[in-house]
Amino acid sequence: MSQRSVVKRLDFIRKFTMEAGLNYDQACRVYTSLVSLIENAVVNGEKVKFGKVGALTAVRKPPRDVVMGFVRGPNNVVTRSKRVFHLDERLEFRFVPYREFLRKHQLR
């Protein structure tokens, strides 16, 4: 694994200009539209496929009740109390790499 752990906007712009042959303005527009497309898909809970690498999948979590067994009062005094909070349905996103990609790149 490389020492870089974050791929930033600048890396995308550099890749678009160097390898795709776009000028800076075109690369910025491509990056903006790419990010906008991914944003819309995430907001709508859609599956986003990234070429041969993998897919970002939305998993719906059902609503549930959460019990909190204490109350923190003044001066950080903790007293026992049963409070129930209701969590609505929510989305959790998972990135799932394709098996073929894992096999080719020997990732586990």
Indicate the pTM of the whole model: 0.69
Say yes or no: 40 and 61 in one domain.
Answer: no
CB atoms within 10 A of CB 27: 19
CA distance 79 to 71: 5
Which residue range is the domain that position 28 belongs to? Answer: 1-44
Q: Specify the 3-state DSSP secondary structure of 5.
A: coil
Say yes or no: 4 and 39 in one domain.
Answer: yes
Report the number of distinct structural domains present in the chain: 2
DSSP-derived pairing of the beta strands 64-72 and 78-87 = antiparallel
Say yes or no: 52 and 11 in one domain.
Answer: no
Residue 88 CA from chain centroid, whole number: 20
CA distance 16 to 30: 8
CA distance 44 to 5: 28
Q: What is the pLDDT of residues 3-62, one digit of tens each?
A: 668 999 999 999 999 999 999 999 999 999 999 999 999 999 899 999 999 999 999 999
